[in-house]
Structure 1
Amino acid sequence: MKKIVCLLLMCFCIVALTLPVLASPLKPKILFVPHDDRPVSFAQTADTVRNLDYDLVLPPQNLLGNRTDLGHPDELWQWVFAQAKNADALVLSSDSLLYGSLVGSRKHAYTQADIIKRVEQFAQLKAQNPRLKIYVFGSIMRTPRDGAASGTEEPSYYAKYGASIFRLTELQDKSETEGLSGSEKKEQAKLETVIPTKAIGDWMKRRQTNFAASSRLIELSRAGTFNYLALGRDDNAPYSQTHKESRLLSKQGEDLGVTKFQALAGIDEIGMVLMTRAVNDLSSNIPFVTVRYADGIGAATVPSYSDEAISQSIRSHLLAAGAIQIPGLKRADLVLLVNTNKDGKTLEANWPQNTIVPRDNTLSFAKMVDLYVSQGYHVGVGDIAFSNGADNALMAELAKRNLLPKLTAYSGWNTATNSTGFVLGQGIMAPKMTLQAKNNLLAVRYLDDWAYQANIRQSVAGELSKIPGTGSYGQLDQKKADAVKATVEKMNIFVKQNLSDMEIDKISIDFPWNRMFETAVTIQSR
């Protein structure tokens, strides 16, 4: 009997040795279609997942939308269908697949029939791949406060009538939720005569088309097409057309529950949030996250470009990412610390107030970061005291305490929800990476959010008039090469002065959208 057992064991070992492929299972494959090709939306989100044990597949960049090319939705659909059969999960931007891109969702000329036809392809995709996990994120069309806030990413009439359009929809939304005073009713009536019928008609027609598409996506979610659907409120306010549409869509999908669908504040960060959910689902992981705020209003802060308290936005992002917020520290996989101003106001990073001089709660917040890092927790910092850049006073204090390389994740770019959603994703995934990979992601954020957005951007912008050739801040053109050179030079100086312990060897940058608002930062580490 023993001889037979030994013989069987030998046979098993021989067979195992002759089948090496079977002994090494393939990495799970995730397909990711972002809402455009901006660095944070595309490359930087992708780089986060690349540092994990997953096979990440991205569409050809020329199919994605950018500032001047609104994108190629039909070609993207062809790519998705061809690649999906070999994937385990899909994280898809409905803006890219319906309109071409996020900017395309604001400017497209497609009919509602065209858009709904594309929406139905999600159902076809699921029918052909019934075991495939599908996560979809889309935008509820934004309502910029004025033409300047639109950044030329709205139809041309918004430059002249944007402020009036915003105010009109602000009053209309308020009228439906709490009513208007007599003077507000008169103001609304006047605005309805000031804005040209052609302009408001075009703007509202596109919104109605997009709203119908979002409504249909909710119905597909109810039918089980998606593992998760997130509809983000792009640049927003407590009263606006965006807020109104979100109210109606949330009501439509409230029976689905927050574990299947949410309409939530923000948009640029939601690709990262749903990539995090896909990774968590594929690894059967449910992270526990503890959230703490700076002294003052803290959790009750309603940031610029948002319509709700930041604590609600963070709760929504955690649910969308497949994580659970817990009150205590004992079981926390990540401690998220949120830097807010004591009075709850969100300033702009390029304003004079953003100095290295500590404000009322800067030192106490840095002390809190120091405490949790020293206790061995994975710590992420959501830096939202300023929009569109880091808090100089906080960053100087963290550098002084040698805390920057010790953080698990950091984000301080663009809007508050962009920052908190992005840092949650990287913070949840970073502990599974090598230390070098984690530090490289941190270095990019420090160079982008702190060095560039909060400091160098303004400095180089001030020098543009001295650079020969045509071009401007919003359209660099012939000035681009010199602006790139100047930015790299200033970044190298910044690294020597502030980030010498991050082991950054070489920095490359680009302005992929031919403007200075955002930059693509890549590094080589020592």
Structure 2
Amino acid sequence: MHALFQKLDKRLLVVLLALPLLSLAVWFLRHPQDPQASLVYPQQTMHQRVILIPLDGRPPCRQFVIDAGHISGTEVVTPPHEIQDYYSQPGDTRAMMAWLQEVTAEQPADAIILSVDQLLYGGLLAAREHQADEAQMETLLSFLRNLHEKHPGVPIYAFSILPRLTPQDTIDGYEERRDIMAYSRLAGCKAAGLTIDEAKLQELHDRIPADSLARYLSHFKENAVLNEKLIDLTREGVIARLVLGQDDGEEYGIPNIEKYALQDYIGNYGLTKRQVFLTHGADEIALTLLAAWQNEKSGIQPRICLRYNTPEARDRVMPYMAVSTGVCAEEKIQLLGGSLAETPEEADFTLLISTNDADKDTMSSRQETVQFLTDSLESGHPIGLVDLSKHFTATETVLPQLIAGDFPLNCLLAYAGWNTTSNAVGTALAEACLYQSAQKEAFSTEEALARAASQVTFLQNRILEDYFYLKEDIDLINGSLKKAGYFNTADLDLEHNYRWANRMLQSLMMRQLQAYKHTPSLEAPFPVQTPEGIRHLRIKDLKADMSYPWPRTFEIYLESTPLLEMVP
């Protein structure tokens, strides 16, 4: 029986390998090419080289940065997959350091962007669960000093993530975890000077097992020591820029106590925000640093106008955030080396942030948002869209309204609508900055068009994943898995339901793609500024490849392939 399955698998493999070629042949038969139309391909020639040690192996931390680098002609070099982390399996930290030494010695790099959590623990998930002693920290610091000494002209941009409020997975038990989180919130309120129920705080303290509470609190102490050492390394000039990120934060909690203590530590040494920057978020930091480095290298200080779907949206605190949407957005602009502009006329571009919440009766703002986007394009003002949803549902987003109204989506400078405000805003701002910088530095029409093709590819990746998957298909897939008895969609069985989930993903997304790629909204021509004036491109076809990078449904690997042509 096993031999029979092997034969079937081989035959199936041959068919699967042939399908893309057959599909392409059928497409060309159905879509004869206009002899006057010229196809345009994404950027292939890379003028810069950046080495990235990603936070972990998920696409937002790794693949997004690689893809966005193509927009500006930057080759982003990442470690081999075999030494990278994979879900709960940590990366090989020693092999990672050895690879970094080797790759920097082989060919000069323009910059290094590295995750401290990857180099010290083996990734973000490992950092949440494992501890590092003094000797391990010193090994990392010595490595960074040595790396800087060998390549003093290569700036090191490092980032480290503060622990989140949620307890480590090794602290088990629903009630125990609930009590720890309640204790953390109350302790955070007390540290912020708010009046709290002291008796409740003591009751929680006494109820939580001493060992569990000690492990929870020691996690923050260890992280604070590590970050103080990294700040010291920045003072020495070893690290050119250090970013400290707050992961899945809340307004009050023990993570904020550490954050405020680090702010005091930074302030005592008079370090600038250019040297050490605290930000909310984690997954998007490497991408933001790539754009910040590009802005700095190009001498660009972008002026960015922020607009919101409702007057209250700026002050709204969205899920998993410790600060309001406005504070988060302004913080990301500072990190990019930019500044706020009061009006679209004064700005290099505008970012419209929609934070719809069905419970707050904001849904009527969607039509006004569409009108603002339309007016901005007609006025010649570049604009990007952050399309957030309080309940992570399609009904709260703006994109369906844009498609229904035949809005030319490829005219957007950026689009993002991932799960947290910091991720989405950071991604959209980075994409917009990279593209504007790329267009200013394009030396030929061909290069400008190729960079536009890279930008449209990144844009469509975000639309397909952030809206079509995360706002529509993920609930269908999770529902089907749960009906079949697989209730933990965050930890799938690689040998059974993981394969089934991948088939569901590809089937559902292909249906979405077949409808979406024939909409006037996608097919509409869009302008590209070139050294020889405005040229227009349009998408003739759109294909996409997707799968689950980790055995869970939370995120997907997705790469779109738009077939672009110049409009005669």
Give the TM-score, by structure 1 length. Answer: 0.86
Matched position secondary structure for 2:345 = coil
How far residue 93 of structure 1 moved from its aligned partner, in angstroms, is 0.8
2:386 aligned partner? 382
1:371 aligned partner? 375
- CA shift in 2, pair 1:293/1:344, >3 Å: farther
Q: Deviations over 1:309-340 (max 9, x none)?
A: 22121122112122222223234222111002
How far residue 390 of structure 1 moved from its aligned partner, in angstroms, is 5.7
How far residue 142 of structure 1 moved from its aligned partner, in angstroms, is 0.6
- 1:240-279 alignment runs, 5 A limit: 240-254=253-267, 255-279=270-294
Task: Output the CA distance in 2 between the equivalents of 1:159 and 1:363.
Answer: 43
Query: How large is the Cα RMSD of the aligned pairs?
Result: 2.4
CA contact (8 A) 1:89 1:132 kept: yes
CA contact (8 A) 2:161 2:247 kept: yes
Task: Output the CA distance in 1 between the equivalents of 2:358 and 2:274.
Answer: 33
Amino acid in structure 1 at the alignment position of 2:370 = A
- 1:209-224 alignment runs, 5 A limit: 209-224=222-237
| Mapped pair 1:473 → 2:495 | no
2:243 aligned partner? 230
- 1:317-466 alignment runs, 5 A limit: 317-341=332-356, 359-386=363-390, 392-401=396-405, 402-431=407-436, 432=438, 434-465=451-482
How far residue 60 of structure 1 moved from its aligned partner, in angstroms, is 1.0
Task: Output the CA distance in 2 between the equivalents of 1:240 and 1:465.
Answer: 33
How far residue 286 of structure 1 moved from its aligned partner, in angstroms, is 2.2
Amino acid in structure 1 at the alignment position of 2:290 = M
| Mapped pair 1:185 → 2:198 | yes
| Mapped pair 1:99 → 2:121 | yes
1:198 aligned partner? 211
Amino acid in structure 1 at the alignment position of 2:124 = L
Q: Deviations over 1:162-211 (max 9, x none)?
A: 22111112111221221434xx1011101111111111112222322121
Q: What stretches of structure 1 of length at least 5 have no aligned partner?
A: 1-24, 145-149, 346-352
How far residue 32 of structure 1 moved from its aligned partner, in angstroms, is 0.9
Task: Output the CA distance in 1 between the equivalents of 2:357 and 2:291.
Answer: 31
CA contact (8 A) 1:342 1:361 kept: no
CA contact (8 A) 2:387 2:399 kept: no
Amino acid in structure 1 at the alignment position of 2:248 = D
1:90 aligned partner? 112
More relative contact order in 1 or in 2 (CA 8 Å, sep 6+)? 2
2:101 aligned partner? 81
Task: Output the CA distance in 2 between the equivalents of 1:490 and 1:186.
Answer: 52
CA contact (8 A) 1:140 1:232 kept: yes
How far residue 249 of structure 1 moved from its aligned partner, in angstroms, is 0.7
Task: Output the CA distance in 2 between the equivalents of 1:344 and 1:442.
Answer: 29
The share of aligned pairs that are identical, in percent, is: 22
1:66 aligned partner? 86
Give the TM-score, by structure 2 length. Answer: 0.80
- CA shift in 2, pair 1:457/1:470, >3 Å: closer
- CA shift in 2, pair 1:466/1:380, >3 Å: same
Task: Output the CA distance in 1 between the equivalents of 2:133 and 2:219.
Answer: 9
How far residue 471 of structure 1 moved from its aligned partner, in angstroms, is 7.9
- CA shift in 2, pair 1:175/1:76, >3 Å: same
- CA shift in 2, pair 1:159/1:102, >3 Å: farther
Task: Output the CA distance in 2 between the equivalents of 1:169 and 1:66.
Answer: 30
- CA shift in 2, pair 1:391/1:256, >3 Å: farther
- 1:282-293 alignment runs, 5 A limit: 282-293=297-308
- CA shift in 2, pair 1:60/1:67, >3 Å: same
Task: Output the CA distance in 2 between the equivalents of 1:387 and 1:452.
Answer: 15
Task: Output the CA distance in 1 between the equivalents of 2:357 and 2:489.
Answer: 32
Q: 1:497 aligns with which of 499, 515, 518?
A: 515
Task: Output the CA distance in 2 between the equivalents of 1:470 and 1:162.
Answer: 23
Matched position secondary structure for 2:266 = helix
Amino acid in structure 2 at the alignment position of 1:61 = H
CA contact (8 A) 1:66 1:103 kept: no
How far residue 70 of structure 1 moved from its aligned partner, in angstroms, is 1.6
1:507 aligned partner? 544
Q: What stretches of structure 2 of length at least 5 have no aligned partner?
A: 1-44, 439-449, 523-538, 564-568
How far residue 34 of structure 1 moved from its aligned partner, in angstroms, is 0.8
Aligned residue pairs: how many? 481
CA contact (8 A) 2:416 2:428 kept: yes
2:4 aligned partner? none
